[in-house]
Structure 1
Amino acid sequence: MWYNKKYIPNFEYILYDLYRYKEEDIKGEVILRISLEAFKIIFADNQTFMREIEKILEAFETLERQSKGIEYFETFIRYIMNARKDIKIEELYKISQRVSQERSEKIMTIAEKLINEGIEKGIEKGMEKGMEKGNMETAKAALKEGMAIELVAKITGLHLEAIDQLNKEISH
């Protein structure tokens, strides 16, 4: 065999169905309780989710005094926004306003960060597409001038197969 079994960990794991536990049954540190509650309700129907999320936002009150409290809160909001595509940041903002004005402002700050990250990713992707299109145009012009396929690939950084396909399109 190509691997050695002694280097493969043999972990045991336990799966819990958190949905059947009541909120008061979940014990431990605040961040643990918040995390488990979030995992528990993330796929609940919209009405249940909104009702329970308010309780979770209230639980963050005690975490804000801790050094990592804001980071936990941001991670929590990001988790919700990634896992629940049907939940809008404005809905979370309204709920958090009922709990804490300060926290609702943090939600909007996080929303702005998410939007900016999305814009940056979009710009990067657009630049990549533009560079790829530019390389294709350069390759097309070089092939029309009779340059060797291998040299065109080396200059543009495109794969030989793509340049070969482009050459066939030009030839027809």
Structure 2
Amino acid sequence: MYHGGEHRWNLRTTLGEWIFGYDQLPAEVHKYIPNFEYFLHDLTQYKEEDRKMNAMLKIIQLMFRDVFTHDHDAMITSILQGLHYLHELEDQQTASTFFETWMRYLLYAANTLTETDIHDIIDHVEKTFPEGSDIVMTLAERLEQKGKEEGKKEGATNALVKTSVRLIEKYIAPVPNDIVQQLKQQDISTLETIIENVYEHKTLEEIKQYLK
């Protein structure tokens, strides 16, 4: 098991610890519940020169170890080291495919990356692994487009929430804060339905029927 995240693993490490009363179960029951144990491998304690593994596994370890770092220089160093390992792969098609998977994970999982960070990554890739420059630029463009679309969607949702509140207060009653918060959690389709049908209702309870 690989645990990737900013927080240390602090959960139980055996299956038996997850089962309430496991130790009190009779022996004839125990044999049907194998007490599996997680093997935890702390990647942060290793230095690059300590790893006698193939290039892909080295990159995977870098990927999981450093993706959540808040240290810009450490992130760039990790990427440069990973690009060096890619050159160890004899099949460049495999290297490019693996590089795309790595960059996709990095750009989508590392939510601390700024626009400057992404441009720095692109710059380093172009210099050290030109085969992957088109890949990382395409992924960065997709990420940027996704951000724009999410921003537009959020803006549209907020506008519909305000319209819903205004119409409900005009035709039914003042809208308490708890309902306003619920409206903010609705999808665009639900909000549009409320706006279209608000004139047909007389109480807030009837409006609540639309809320998911």
TM-score (norm 1): 0.67
Q: Which amino acid aligns with 2:78?
A: E
1:147 corresponds to: 202
Question: Are 1:97 and 1:103, in contact at CA under 8 Å, matched by a contact in 2?
Answer: yes
CA RMSD across the alignment: 3.6
Residues 70 and 97 of structure 1: CA distance in aligned 2, closer, same or farther (over 3 Å): closer
1:120 paired with 2:149, answer: yes
Q: Per the alignment, do residues 37 and 121 of structure 1 end up closer, same or farther by CA in structure 2, a change over 3 Å counting? A: same
Distance 1:8 1:64, change over 3 A: farther
Q: CA deviation at 1:106?
A: 1.9
Q: CA deviation at 1:109?
A: 1.1
What CA distance in whole angstroms lies between the structure 2 residues aligned with 1:57 and 1:135?
52
Q: 2:32 matched to 1:32?
A: no
Contact 2:171 2:202 in 1 (8 A): yes
Contact 1:19–1:40 under 8 Å retained in 2? yes
Who is 1:78 aligned against? 107
Paired residues of 2:118 and 2:140 also in contact (CA < 8 A) = yes
Q: State the one-letter code of the partner of 1:47.
A: D
Aligned partner of 1:54 in structure 2 is 80
In structure 2, C-alpha distance between the alignment counterparts of 1:117 and 1:8, rounded to whole Å: 45
Q: 2:93 aligns with which of 42, 45, 65?
A: 65
Q: Name the CA shift for 1:133/1:80 in 2 (closer, same or farther; >3 Å).
A: closer
Partners of 2:46 and 2:52 lie apart in 1 by 11
Question: For each residue in 1:22-51, what CA deviation from the matched residue of structure 2 results, as whole angstroms up to 9, or x when unmatched?
Answer: 324324443321010233344384434423
Pair 1:129–1:9, CA change in 2 (3 A): farther
Kindly provide the amino acid, as one letter, of the partner of residue 20 in structure 1.
Q
Q: How many residues align?
A: 155
Q: In structure 1, the residue corresponding to 2:172 is in which secondary structure?
A: helix
**CA separation of 1:64/1:132 partners in 2, compared to 1, >3 Å: closer, same or farther?**
farther
* Highest RCO, 1 vs 2 (Cα 8 Å, sep ≥ 6): 2
Matched, 1:21 2:50: no
> How high is the TM-score relative to the length of structure 2?
0.56
% identical equivalent positions:
26
Give yes or no for contact 1:54–1:95 (8 Å, CA) kept in 2: yes
Query: Is the 8 Å Cα contact of residues 108 and 143 (structure 2) preserved in structure 1?
Result: no
- Residues 117 and 24 from structure 1, CA distance in 2 versus in 1: closer, same or farther, beyond 3 angstroms? same
Moved more, 127-136 or 143-152: 143-152
Point out the structure with the larger helix share: 1
Q: Matched residues in 1 for 2:203 and 2:84: separation?
A: 67
Gaps of 5+ in 2: 1-19, 23-28, 174-198
